[in-house]
Structure 1
Amino acid sequence: MYGEKLKKAALPAIVLVLAVFSVYYVALGYGFVYDDNEQILGNRWLLSFSNIPEVFSTHSFGFRNAGYQAITYRPMFFVIYMAEYAVFGFSAWGWHLVNLLMHSFNSVFVFFILRHLLTAENMGYSSTLPAFAGALIFSVHPTNAEPVSWLAAIGELTFTFLCLAAFYLEARSIDGKGGRAFERVASSAVPALFFLFAVLLKETAVVLPVIVLAYDCARKGFSGLFSRARLSRYMSYAAVAAVYAGLRSFALKGEMMPGVTLHAFLSPYEFGLNAIALLARYFQALVLPVGEPPLQLMDPVLSLFAPRAILSVFAVVAAPLALAIVLRRITRLWALILAIIILPILPTLYSPAISRFPYADRYLYFSTVGLSMLIAVALAWFGARPGKWGRFALLAVLSAALPFAMLARQKSAPWESDRTLWGAALAAQPGNYVAVHSIASDYLREGRPGEAVELFEDSLKANLSAEHPDPSMVLLTRKVLPQAYIRAGLEAKAEVSLEEYLKLMPDDAPSFYNLALIKQRKGAFLDAVELYQRAAVFTKDPALSARAHYNMGECYLSLGMRDEALRSFREALRQAPGDSLILDRIGSLEGPGPRP
């Protein structure tokens, strides 16, 4: 009987996998974009599994020496990256294949879960077709284009897979379907293990125990919830949560919240108002997944009486309430459906504090499972009614899959490369100074400094002219702009730009070094010496320190200060032992004899 059920499920599962690949096969030709450049291409952790202890003992950007706040703790995220690097190296197609496979697995998993839930509900209609229709919508839903197409979203795909697997085992156990010995063992221990891996991938996974509880109460009611037999199910989740909290606290050194927030101009009241507006935006994207281009700067709501605020408050209150009223009439799973739709979104409402782009489609990935469940339950309910309403409803949902698939392909396209991604962001929001800055950086890497200069200047102007300028982005643009000036041969502008930047960041060693180079080329040797000294004091890079002391020696020689020059060259040699150029310079000053 079990084998017969698998045979019946084989065709829908194959169709779901084909649907995923028919929409997203083009992503196999995409590259590394946005955060991938730092988290993958610039991540030393990926080079060896021996780095796993360090990965588990620090925050998500601990692979960088400094400059990042300890905000997130997602060690399993980088373990997956290590495995992908071990198999594919830096061949992007292999990484994208993993994303497609994970989305395929999740789509099939959604089908099995929906079929099980509908069978357990016994709504008087076949569970296979509604479950397939719901899973098909999940597989091609346009908001899922971002997590499927972007490599950095592998955490979203994998934590959802683990949560789905844990929930499926729990659902079978609650419904008394785990009759075999290995299933009983699996249902008691494996879900908690999956939960642990999931929260180590993404904090959003903390919603899993509440989702399990919603199903437990839907099937068995609240009576006896605190009995030993039922309560033991949640003790393992509590133990995992305690372990996770301890690991996170240790890795982040007790800093659970960022010390510096973006959009700091928002008062607590305004922050809450924008969280409501963001939640309404997510609800809209689930139902009407059009628009919402990637990487859009926040357009804040500052008054409760603004039209957008009024509509958002109404949507956030009315939509869940109306859905709950309707669902309670047709299924006991109403609370479960609402929990899966709403709960995974709630942790993301803090994103205005830590991200320039608070809205992101990927945050809806788990929530689309709830939407698929809603669709499947509604189809089963219509199918059990007299007449042809069930067929019409099923046909309508299956017909919606095609435009959804086309829109998903369209929303996937910007993630092909940095240029297409930031181009799409800028086309949708012409004042997006982050997009302009990023395109300028791309031009600079390509050896097009003249175009880069123009765009960096535009980015800085757009940022500073905004009602609420972004201070950290201003600093970043001011830091990179002098490099573009230098490479474009505009040293006079580079000099002025560096001096302005160093007033804001008086401990930036590379900028002191670059300004010193300009002064040295102009013949202002004393000014250059002072700047090289500051570069040497502030840098933690021995190579930069060696170059600063070497150039300092050259400046001293130009000033006729032979002894000072020799001391500088010797200090350079101490920072770069055995350097032949420095040795030759010291030898020419000391004359014949043994070299140091």
Structure 2
Amino acid sequence: FFAAPYHQRSPHSGLFRPLPVVSYALEYRMLGSKPWHFHVVNILLHSFNAVLAYLLLFKLSKNEKLASLAALLFLFHPIHTEAVTSIVGRAELLAFFWAVLAAIVSLRGFGLLEAGAFFLALLSKESALAVLPILIFIKRWRLNLPWSAVWRKSVYLAPALAVYFLLRYLALGEYMFKSGVVNFIENPLKFLPLAERLGTAFKVLSLYVLKLLWPVHLSADYSYSSFGFVNMTSVSALLGLAILAVSVAVLWKKRRGWLAVGIAFFFFPYLLISNLALTTGTVMAERLMYLPSLGFLAVLSYAALGLAGRRKTLLWAAAGVMLVWYGYLVFDRNKDWFSDEKIFTAAERLHPDSMIPRVALAAIDMQNEKWAEAKHELDRAVSIYSGYSPLQNLLGVWAGHSGDQKAAEGYFIKSAELNPKSINPRVNLANLYIKQKQYQKALEHLVVLVELNPARDFAVKYGYLLIAVGKSNEAISVANKYLSTNDAEYFSILGTAYFNNKDYIRALEYLLKAKQYGKSDPAIDEMINMAGNKIP
């Protein structure tokens, strides 16, 4: 778990999040694979996070009303639906839990506990690195320590960082500080000229703030082309720039006050996901606001209490109405998360020109044998942007279903060219070539598949195909390298390969073990009989 990438056998994703994976594994071991308990744990974590938010803000502000209001807004805010309802949102929840806990113990001066919580936050999600400047900010300005004391008390954080980056290197290798899977659809900002990239990044900030203030029209997808690109002369870009500038100004001017820490909780995590200096894997996602929203809601609560003055009863009445409204929005939003089809239909309805929902719905239509509907989605997706690897792959599936194998081959090849690390087009090409008895071409893609993702099914197909083209020794190597020694297919491939090599003693040994482990195949029985007859 602690030396493996987040996506199994895919270090090129650039993601290392062992703590969520461990939590999934423990749940699976104790409670099985039913999704309900994964959702329950996410809800409990979100509730605990709201409590931690209250404790942190109360310790900072010494204002129970402010801490209570901000924590309630955090607990009920609809923008958190994606992070809480989606099981993979566990990474956001755990990163928040340990990050806020690190801040709380930092205020108490517990260096070892602070380092431990910070380390666990890093193991939850990469974005928790934003906690480091927050912890330093707390020591320097909230605790009013001189810089020499700040560095001395921060020394505990150095081993946590060192061990984290060592584990990250062991898991990701050359992808320790980069991703090999960012594409134009998921984050077009990486591929835009600087002026458009900055303008659109600031526009995204204004969209985030708008959704924090008015959380309607939420979506699980903001990929290309959910919204248009802009340059720095755009009103939305200038608004985003103004928001960031005001945050920096207040952060510095009020640096010794508790409010600055609240702003820091928005400012520093946002910088990591902003695409301003470094591009990330996505242009925008509501789940990414989970940690920054704490700082924003703290500032919002402070402003609300200040405006209310002595009219606190009116304020709490308004807050109650808002929380009821938030609850309704969360309930309504969760309806969209009942199935893949519902979530992508909702996203497509909100952003008709967005690529990912249309491609996803086309795949769902194909699974449900709704080929006409799938073709409609594919045609619309092609009109938006044709250079998307999953789209080309699905066009190949549709062409194959229509009987045009030549066109299917072309689409699959194009898909693999657009994303050389993509699995699906190579699987489809291998299957197509096997069907056409072009085994050598099939092998070219299977060898890439097992390098990209040495899953059992790929290794088994690769091993048998090597035997079929007379490469039995290579098949033996594949079985020994990729298959478990308690797998019936492991013994079947070895037995068949040794049989083809006329090593009948070994062939009989492995073929009998294949049957012992549950392999039932007339060809196995025939080889066992023939091998038995060949042995003196």
The correspondence of residues 248-327 of structure 1 with structure 2, limited to 5 A, is: 248-255=168-175, 256-259=177-180, 261-263=182-184, 265-299=191-225, 301-304=228-231, 309-318=234-243, 320-321=245-246
CA deviation profile, 1:59-117 (whole Å, cap 9, x unmatched): 222x24x6x62411111121111112122211111111101100111111222222222
- Cα contact 1:426–1:435 (8 A) shared by 2: yes
- Cα contact 1:84–1:95 (8 A) shared by 2: yes
CA deviation profile, 1:472-519 (whole Å, cap 9, x unmatched): 223432454356x1xxxx4x2345313543476499664455434654
Which has the higher mean CA deviation after the structures are superposed, 373-382 or 240-249? 373-382
Q: CA deviation at 1:293?
A: 1.6
* Counterpart-to-counterpart distance in 1, 2:64 and 2:336: 35
1:95 partnered with 2:12: no
> How many equivalent pairs are there?
473
The correspondence of residues 444-523 of structure 1 with structure 2, limited to 5 A, is: 444-445=366-367, 448-449=368-369, 451=370, 453-466=371-384, 468-481=385-398, 485=401, 490=402, 492-502=403-413, 505=416, 510-516=427-433, 519=436
Q: CA deviation at 1:143?
A: 0.6
CA deviation profile, 1:264-285 (whole Å, cap 9, x unmatched): 6423443333222222221222
1:401 partnered with 2:323: yes
Q: CA deviation at 1:414?
A: 1.5
Given candidates 237, 257, 268, the residue that maps to 1:343 is 268
User: Match for residue 147 of structure 2?
Assistant: 226
Q: CA deviation at 1:339?
A: 1.0
Q: CA deviation at 1:250?
A: 3.1
Task: Assess, with a 3 A threshold, how the Cα gap between structure 1 residues 594 and 198 changes in structure 2: closer, same or farther.
Answer: same
* Counterpart-to-counterpart distance in 1, 2:351 and 2:164: 39
Q: Secondary structure at the match of 1:254?
A: helix
One-letter amino acid of the structure 2 residue matched with residue 115 of structure 1: F
- Cα contact 1:546–1:572 (8 A) shared by 2: no
- Cα contact 1:573–1:582 (8 A) shared by 2: no
Which has the higher mean CA deviation after the structures are superposed, 542-551 or 163-172? 542-551
User: Match for residue 582 of structure 1?
Assistant: 523
- Cα contact 2:365–2:374 (8 A) shared by 1: no
The correspondence of residues 333-482 of structure 1 with structure 2, limited to 5 A, is: 333-350=258-275, 355=281, 358-378=283-303, 381=306, 388-445=310-367, 448-449=368-369, 451=370, 453-466=371-384, 468-481=385-398
Higher relative contact order (CA 8 A, sep 6+): 1
What TM-score do you get using the length of structure 2 for normalisation?
Answer: 0.77
Task: Assess, with a 3 A threshold, how the Cα gap between structure 1 residues 238 and 381 changes in structure 2: closer, same or farther.
Answer: farther
Task: Assess, with a 3 A threshold, how the Cα gap between structure 1 residues 165 and 503 changes in structure 2: closer, same or farther.
Answer: closer
Q: CA deviation at 1:156?
A: 0.6
- Cα contact 1:192–1:236 (8 A) shared by 2: yes
* Counterpart-to-counterpart distance in 1, 2:404 and 2:100: 56
Q: Secondary structure at the match of 2:174?
A: coil
Given candidates 185, 203, 209, the residue that maps to 2:126 is 203
Task: Assess, with a 3 A threshold, how the Cα gap between structure 1 residues 139 and 116 changes in structure 2: closer, same or farther.
Answer: same
One-letter amino acid of the structure 1 residue matched with residue 99 of structure 2: C
Q: Secondary structure at the match of 1:421?
A: helix
Q: CA deviation at 1:133?
A: 1.7
Task: Assess, with a 3 A threshold, how the Cα gap between structure 1 residues 191 and 500 changes in structure 2: closer, same or farther.
Answer: closer
Q: Secondary structure at the match of 1:358?
A: coil
CA deviation profile, 1:521-558 (whole Å, cap 9, x unmatched): xxxxxxx3xx12322454254532466579889xxxxx
The correspondence of residues 124-135 of structure 1 with structure 2, limited to 5 A, is: 127-135=63-71
One-letter amino acid of the structure 1 residue matched with residue 95 of structure 2: F
Q: CA deviation at 1:189?
A: 1.0
The correspondence of residues 539-578 of structure 1 with structure 2, limited to 5 A, is: 539-540=446-447, 541-545=458-462, 548=465, 578=511
CA deviation profile, 1:207-233 (whole Å, cap 9, x unmatched): 223223333344344xx52233x4322
Task: Assess, with a 3 A threshold, how the Cα gap between structure 1 residues 574 and 130 changes in structure 2: closer, same or farther.
Answer: farther
Task: Assess, with a 3 A threshold, how the Cα gap between structure 1 residues 323 and 482 changes in structure 2: closer, same or farther.
Answer: same
CA RMSD of aligned residues (A): 3.7
Q: CA deviation at 1:345?
A: 1.8
Task: Assess, with a 3 A threshold, how the Cα gap between structure 1 residues 275 and 514 changes in structure 2: closer, same or farther.
Answer: same
Q: Secondary structure at the match of 2:147?
A: coil
Q: CA deviation at 1:192?
A: 0.6
Q: Secondary structure at the match of 1:343?
A: helix
Task: Assess, with a 3 A threshold, how the Cα gap between structure 1 residues 326 and 214 changes in structure 2: closer, same or farther.
Answer: closer
The correspondence of residues 159-174 of structure 1 with structure 2, limited to 5 A, is: 159-173=95-109
* Counterpart-to-counterpart distance in 1, 2:319 and 2:255: 18
* Counterpart-to-counterpart distance in 2, 1:108 and 1:205: 19
The correspondence of residues 87-166 of structure 1 with structure 2, limited to 5 A, is: 87-119=30-62, 127-166=63-102
* Counterpart-to-counterpart distance in 2, 1:90 and 1:497: 36
- Cα contact 1:380–1:390 (8 A) shared by 2: yes
Task: Assess, with a 3 A threshold, how the Cα gap between structure 1 residues 75 and 296 changes in structure 2: closer, same or farther.
Answer: same
Q: CA deviation at 1:140?
A: 0.4
Q: CA deviation at 1:410?
A: 2.1
Q: CA deviation at 1:197?
A: 0.7
Q: CA deviation at 1:199?
A: 0.6
* Counterpart-to-counterpart distance in 2, 1:348 and 1:199: 15
Q: Secondary structure at the match of 1:56?
A: coil
Structure 2: unaligned runs, 5 residues or longer = 185-189, 448-457, 471-494, 502-506, 512-518
* Counterpart-to-counterpart distance in 2, 1:254 and 1:424: 38
- Cα contact 1:110–1:135 (8 A) shared by 2: yes
- Cα contact 1:262–1:354 (8 A) shared by 2: no
Task: Assess, with a 3 A threshold, how the Cα gap between structure 1 residues 315 and 277 changes in structure 2: closer, same or farther.
Answer: closer
- Cα contact 2:230–2:237 (8 A) shared by 1: no
CA deviation profile, 1:454-475 (whole Å, cap 9, x unmatched): 3443344333322x53432234
Structure 1: unaligned runs, 5 residues or longer = 1-54, 120-126, 174-186, 520-527, 554-568
One-letter amino acid of the structure 1 residue matched with residue 382 of structure 2: L
Bigger radius of gyration among the two: 1
* Counterpart-to-counterpart distance in 1, 2:305 and 2:153: 30
Calculate percent identity across the aligned residue pairs.
20
Task: Assess, with a 3 A threshold, how the Cα gap between structure 1 residues 220 and 536 changes in structure 2: closer, same or farther.
Answer: closer
- Cα contact 2:250–2:260 (8 A) shared by 1: no
- Cα contact 1:145–1:408 (8 A) shared by 2: yes
Q: Secondary structure at the match of 1:253?
A: helix
One-letter amino acid of the structure 2 residue matched with residue 84 of structure 1: E
* Counterpart-to-counterpart distance in 1, 2:267 and 2:183: 25
1:238 partnered with 2:158: yes
Q: CA deviation at 1:302?
A: 4.4
